Amino acid sequence: MLRPFLVTNTMGLFDLKATVHGGGISGQAQAIRHGIARALELYEPAFRPALKKDGMLTRDPRKVERKKPGRKKARKAFQWVKR
């Protein structure tokens, strides 16, 4: 979570309070890191190349796949009986 501050050499210049909902611990940490990076970019546009090079401005595009009809979950099917 502190990586955006390390990349831009702004460690100790800002106080931070973040509230996140949903997802797991790792996903929430990545969301906070992404939010910090975007805020730093808005604060100083010159930070953009360093943050982009480190992959901080890229959002994780994965989402939960929807449940399909006739199946137990998104991909898990009901038990198949041969006879």
pLDDT tens for 22-66 read 889 999 999 999 999 999 999 999 999 999 999 999 988 888 999
How much is the pLDDT for 38? 94
| pLDDT level of residue 1 (50, 70, 90 thresholds) | confident
How much is the pLDDT for 10? 92
- Which SS3 state, helix, strand or coil, does residue 41 take? helix
pTM of the model: 0.78
Residue whose C-alpha is closest to residue 15's, from 46, 41, 36, 29: 36
How much is the pLDDT for 60? 87
Rg of the Cα atoms in the chain = 20
- Is the pLDDT score of 68 beyond 90? yes
Mean pLDDT, range 59-83, rounded to an integer:
92
